[in-house]
Amino acid sequence: MRLRRRRQPGGPRVTLYSRAGCHLCEAAEAVVREVCADLGESYVVVDVDADPQLQARFSDEVPVTFVDGAQHDFWRVDEARLRAALG
């Protein structure tokens, strides 16, 4: 299954699929938050455990980052790579 979200005009460019209690998710969100703040971009965090389909798709890969609707990273967010993708 390939998940592709369409970005709504004016909506967040970055989507972080995450779960509560995940230390990698917390670290990824910190990077996403900093990069988006620096670049004036918005982001959204989606709890994969709130949706059985997302949980099945991303269970072993969280956190998963999408930029402009396309999968960008999983497990860790590379700051330089995210900045380049948003630049």
Per-residue pLDDT of 13-71, as tens digits, reads 999 999 999 999 999 999 999 999 999 999 999 999 999 999 999 989 999 999 999 99
Tell me how far apart the alpha carbons of residues 28 and 1 are, in angstroms, rounded to a whole number: 24
pTM of the model: 0.86
Residue 11's pLDDT is what? 86
Tokens of 21: 């209690």
Tell me how far apart the alpha carbons of residues 14 and 17 are, in angstroms, rounded to a whole number: 10
Per-residue pLDDT of 3-25, as tens digits, reads 444 445 678 999 999 999 999 99
- pLDDT > 90 in the chain, percent: 84
Sheet holding 64-67, edge to edge: 43-47, 14-18, 64-67, 70-74
Say how many CA atoms lie within 13 Å of 29 toward its Cβ.
16
Length of the chain (residues): 87
